[in-house]
Chain A
């Protein structure tokens, strides 16, 4: 095994181009487990820890450009206002020790259906910025990033530079089912973001299909129902039948399996429950925000 230690982003891209089989290692919280258990013996490890750019983030007009290696702890501490869904999801990852090392770049690199960042990224809307020495930069929409169980859209010579996550324009929630509050891989997870500016709702489902997915039919149904009932304007409580239909459509968007963590039917059921709850929480907070702005006016 060789240990490649690029000092800059350009050097890292050059190393990845020269050795496309090299396995990048950032926080190591996925890679080192595989090495410790002899599940993986890469020819080259490509250490990304010395590349300072990957640990920085920029808050722009519409989105946050989040460096690939920014640890979950930093996201929780610094980006709760801009990226509430991702900050909530980050807080549910493992333990402080793991959150101090692991980040969204590694979560995307692994592309596990159970990765907690994915539902939040799908719900808020995001693009993955990847780069290669030969072809330069491209932005991959998050909906096109997940290709299969632990497979993503990266080419062998590409590295993830950053994720551009849309800044929240409304309430966001993240919910996860597991046996404990800490150190738990999701049995299933759900992310929801209200986007009052476009009067749309977006979702993300984790650990209930071969890849993280959006519940698109559920989104379309809810968008239409909210529009028809004038809910965005009148701020009324969402009708229980609408919430129920939304939850059922979210369950229907799942394509889960039975495994040690849970059965397929439990996952489908739990995703529906989380969909209904997160809809209630976010809608209540949208109504609350409306009341305060109207009260102030």
Chain B
């Protein structure tokens, strides 16, 4: 079957989708967006977390056909998504977003704190780099999407809020302390308007 939906603010079409296929599979294998990670395929690890109509979900547990006509944001579109939110309070459909090509070539270059060079990242992405919250990196995309959504809802989270919001994302390197630091850093920067 064919599925039409919006990915990172741009309309996309996926063809020859098997009816039992997950949204995660469509993103990775049909649209060439490997940012959302495929690990447990049973919703336990959160590494495939994306926003579906704004809500964080495990894309491995959403049937492809269920996203017809709906909006998905993946980690590849997070920088633009956060930018639009900061500047305009959101994205008016089509006017912004990340093209499939840009998304496919997306790399976390980040901004060098000395030279200021590099690509603009979302505040949460920059905070993960600055706090050293990335080890093997496999859980990072899911954590970024989940953490960014929490900061959107709850700009001044307590540690308990952060732990709960990220309780569906596992880090097998067990680097949770640095991840906590990164989210606290992003929240602090957000409240200072940096």
Residues of A whose CB lies within 8 Å of any CB of B are: 1-3, 5, 25, 27-29, 31-33, 35-37, 41-42, 45, 47, 49, 94-98, 100-101, 181-183
Contact = CB atoms under 8 A, between A and B. Distances in A.
Contact of B57 (A2, A3, A100): A100
10 contacts: A2-B19, A3-B63, A25-B63, A32-B60, A37-B41, A95-B168, A96-B167, A96-B168, A97-B56, A98-B43
Given A33-B42, A94-B43, A183 B168 contact: yes
Interface residues of B, number: 28
Main secondary structure of the interface of A (DSSP, over half): loop
A112 B43 CA distance: 17
A1 B56 contact: no
A38 to B, nearest CB: 10
Contacts of A27: 61
B98 interface: no
A32 B22 contact: yes
Interface in B151-180: 164-165, 167-169
A45 B19 contact: yes
Nearest to B51: A100
A261 B146 CA distance: 29
Contacts, number: 90
Interface in B34-51: 41-44, 46, 49
Contact of A32 (B44, B56, B63): B63
A192 B23 CA distance: 39
Contacts of B164: 96, 182
A99 to B, nearest CB: 9
Contacts of B146: 96-97
B67 to A, nearest CB: 9
Nearest to B3: A3
A96 B57 CA distance: 8
Contacts of B22: 32, 35-36
A172 B181 CA distance: 37
A52 to B, nearest CB: 13
B42 A49 contact: no
Interface string B1-43: 1000000000000000011101000000000000000000111
